[in-house]
């Protein structure tokens, strides 16, 4: 018999004479003459209750079955006389597939702290909360691709190993095949020059948007920033669309549409899993998501933002002045207290932004934008790109960049340049938004942070 995923058993339309389920035991209760076994196979939040009458053989198997063991149960799917579930399985046989040592099994029936569960990240998807998290994560990734496919964007696989620095923030991990401690120069290394893990696929995807039209890349990115915050990790996934014959306002439109689409998709497709987070993790999750969906996002210039932040009575840890980068406390104030909804801040000072952003006429600001959302702060960072060759060269000179190394990037402005814009959305930050989870480590299968490379 073919196994039925528990999700389908729980949603059955009618009883089934024969059913086979396989999964991990959440609880087992022995009674006189029969046992209850609650089984979960990860396909959904719910467990299927199975009731198994004792025979000498079955009793022998059940004696070995503890919490966490994997089993196969055959029987009939019948309407449950008990409360709390529509269907249950009348088991006629049980097979122990993999036993679980009860002395050391780390998951108890009680609620565990997130900190503890992080220390057993290999086991935490067996819990309700993290099972729900990683089902949502999977659905969200699929939704990203669907969003772009429906809009005729092409999906580009940009390189992970790179020789160029997109963001210019000096946060790159080096890649080498030389032995540790080797004194050999980069010319002797694998690529014959210094190589790093990418911080962004943008520069590559730009080349494709200037050839195929609207494109996106969605892949892992790496940053060696030594910030131990609840919103930063060394390895994260970024979604980077690039739209052509488009400007900054088109870019902000796309980001807003995408956030609303993804929130709607998750509410529609992961209702039970999201409900868990709304109930146990963040009571304000649903109201927050409603705010995201309801109104259009606020849009203010950086200069207006600084104005608001200097005029408010609120005290910040970081003093506010024109030219500074906004800190999370400022970002959260703007969307949580001032506007009470997502906010775009655009036209940032050029001095705090990378070389590729389009210079504004004031020659002081660039056509950059950040999208800020409640509880998280920056979820999207993007810009219109500098498409004018002379201006771009000028800017690279100002910043002391090696133009030789970016010869191919400059070529795109030499041959059929066109206005284009794009952004990067932190996939994990998007997950934090739809689940209300406050620490980025808890939306990733195996998070990588300073001094932490277990699993």
Q: What is the DSSP pairing of strand 154-155 with strand 215-222? A: parallel
Select the residue interacting with ligand 4AD from 40, 195, 202, 435 (CB under 6 A).
202
Interacting residue with ligand 4AD among 428, 432, 433, 434 (CB under 6 A): 428
Indicate whether 137 belongs to the interface with ligand 4AD (CB under 6 A).
Answer: no
Q: Is residue 377 at the binding interface for ligand 4AD, with CB under 6 A as the rule?
A: no
Conformational region of residue 370, where left means phi above 0, alpha means psi within -120 to 50, and beta covers everything else: beta
Q: Round to whole Å and give the CA distance between 73 and 49.
A: 11
Nearer to ligand 4AD, 137 or 429 (CB): 429
Which is nearer to ligand 4AD, 45 or 233 (by Cβ)? 233
- Smallest separation, CB 419 to Mg ion (Å): 21
User: What's the distance, CA 165 to chain centroid?
Assistant: 23
Binding range to ligand 4AD, per CB under 6 A, among 40-48, 84-92, 124-132, 417-425: 417-425
CB 307: neighbour CB atoms within 10 A?
Answer: 14
Give the nearest distance from C-beta 287 to Mg ion in angstroms.
27
Q: Which is nearer to Mg ion, 75 or 381 (CB)?
A: 381
* 422 contributes a contact to ligand 4AD by CB under 6 A: yes
Q: Contacts with Mg ion in 340-399 (CB under 5 A)?
A: 381
Confirm or reject binding of residue 423 to ligand 4AD (CB under 6 A): yes
Compute the least distance from the CB of residue 427 to Mg ion, in Å: 14
Our CB check for ligand 4AD shows the closer of 144 and 380 to be 380
What single string gives the DSSP state of each residue in 8-20? HHHT-SS-EEEEE
Q: Report yes or no: 22 and 248 within 8 Å, Cβ to Cβ.
A: no
Question: From the CB of residue 93, how many other CB atoms can be counted at a distance below 10 Å?
Answer: 14
Among 38, 240, 273, 386, binds ligand 4AD (CB under 6 A): 240
The CA distance from 189 to 282, in Å, is: 49
Token digits for 291? 């705010």
Residues 216-235 touching ligand 4AD, rule: CB under 6 A, are 223, 225, 232-233
Q: Which stretch binds ligand 4AD (CB under 6 A): 128-136, 274-282, 381-389, 405-413?
A: 381-389
Q: How far is the CB of 243 from ligand 4AD (least distance, A)?
A: 11
Burial class of 39 by CB neighbour count within 10 A (0 to 12, 13 to 18, 19+): buried
Is 236 a binding residue for ligand 4AD by CB under 6 A? The answer is yes
Considering the complex, state which of residue 24 and residue 147 has its C-beta at the smaller distance from ligand 4AD.
147
Identify how many contiguous H helices and E strands the chain contains and give both numbers. 13, 16
Per-residue b/e over 382-400, b at no fewer than 16 CB within 10 Å?
Answer: bbbbbbeeeebbebbeeee
Choose the one of Mg ion, ligand 4AD, none that binds residue 75, judging by a C-beta under 5 to 8 angstroms depending on kind: none
DSSP H or E segment with residue 406: none
- For 428, phi then psi, to 5°, come to -65, -35
Residue nearest to Mg ion (CB): 381
Chosen from Mg ion, ligand 4AD, none, partner binding at 424 (C-beta under 5 to 8 Å by type): ligand 4AD
CB of 354 to ligand 4AD, least distance (A): 7
Residue whose CB is less far from ligand 4AD, 137 or 223 = 223
| Gap between the Cα atoms of 149 and 21, Å rounded | 35
Contacted by 382, from ligand 4AD, Mg ion, none: CB < 5 to 8 Å by type: ligand 4AD
CA dihedral 95→101→103→108, nearest 10 degrees, is -70
Nearer to ligand 4AD, 116 or 408 (CB): 408
Among Mg ion, ligand 4AD, none, the one that 253 touches (CB under a kind-dependent 5 to 8 A) is: none
SS3 (DSSP) at 94: strand
| Three-point CA angle 243, 247, 250, nearest 5° | 70
Residue whose CB is less far from Mg ion, 381 or 447: 381
Among 38, 88, 139, 167, binds ligand 4AD (CB under 6 A): 167
Whole-angstrom Cα distance, residue 382 to residue 345? 11
The separation between CA 346 and the C-alpha centre of its own chain, rounded to angstroms, equals 24
Residues lying near Mg ion in the complex (CB under 5 A) are found at 381
Residues lying near ligand 4AD in the complex (CB under 6 A) are found at 166-167, 200, 202, 223, 225, 232-233, 236, 238, 240, 378-383, 422-424, 426, 428-429, 440
């Amino acid at each position: 018999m073919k196994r039925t995923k528990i999700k389908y058993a729980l949603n059955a339309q009618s009883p089934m004479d024969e059913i086979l389920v396989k999964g991990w035991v959440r609880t087992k209760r022995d009674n006189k003459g029969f046992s209850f076994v609650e089984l979960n196979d990860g396909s959904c939040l719910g467990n299927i209750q199975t009731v198994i009458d004792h025979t000498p053989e079955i009793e022998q198997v059940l004696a070995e079955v503890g919490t966490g063991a994997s089993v196969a149960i055959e029987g009939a799917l019948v309407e449950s006389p008990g409360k709390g579930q529509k269907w249950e399985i009348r088991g006629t046989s049980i097979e122990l597939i993999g036993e679980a040592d009860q002395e050391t099994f780390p998951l108890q029936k009680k609620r565990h702290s997130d900190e503890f569960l992080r220390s057993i990240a290999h086991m935490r998807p067996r819990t309700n909360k993290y099972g729900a998290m990683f089902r949502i994560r999977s659905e969200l990734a699929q939704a990203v691709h669907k969003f772009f496919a429906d809009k005729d964007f092409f999906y580009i696989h940009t390189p992970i190993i790179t020789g160029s620095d997109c963001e210019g923030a000096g946060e790159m991990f080096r890649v080498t095949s030389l032995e540790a401690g080797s004194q050999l120069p980069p010319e002797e290394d694998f690529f014959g020059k210094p190589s790093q893990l990418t911080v962004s696929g943008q520069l590559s995807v730009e080349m494709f948007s200037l050839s195929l039209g609207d494109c996106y890349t969605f892949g892992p990115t790496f940053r060696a920033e030594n910030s131990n915050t609840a919103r930063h990790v060394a390895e994260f996934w970024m979604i980077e669309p690039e739209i052509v014959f488009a400007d900054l306002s088109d870019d902000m439109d796309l980001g807003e549409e995408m956030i609303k689409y993804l929130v709607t998709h998750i509410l529609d497709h992961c209702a039970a899993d999201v409900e868990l987070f709304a109930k146990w993790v963040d009571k304000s999750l649903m109201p927050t998501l409603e705010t995201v969906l309801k109104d259009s996002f606020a849009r203010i210039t950086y200069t207006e933002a600084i104005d608001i932040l200097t005029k408010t009575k609120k005290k910040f840890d970081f003093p506010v002045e024109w030219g500074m980068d906004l800190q999370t406390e400022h970002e959260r104030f703007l969307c949580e207290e001032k506007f009470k909804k997502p906010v775009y801040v655009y036209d940032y000072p050029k001095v705090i932004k990378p070389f590729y952003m389009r210079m504004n006429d004031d020659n002081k600001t660039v056509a950059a934008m950040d999208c800020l959302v409640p509880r998280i702060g920056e979820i999207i960072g993007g810009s219109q790109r500098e498409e004018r060759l002379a201006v771009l060269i000028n800017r690279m000179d100002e910043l002391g960049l090696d133009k030789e190394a970016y010869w191919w990037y400059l070529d795109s402005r030499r041959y059929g340049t066109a206005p284009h814009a794009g952004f990067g959305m932190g996939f994990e930050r998007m997950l934090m938004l739809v689940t209300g989870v406050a620490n980025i480590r808890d939306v990733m299968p195996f998070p990588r942070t300073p001094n932490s490379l277990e699993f």
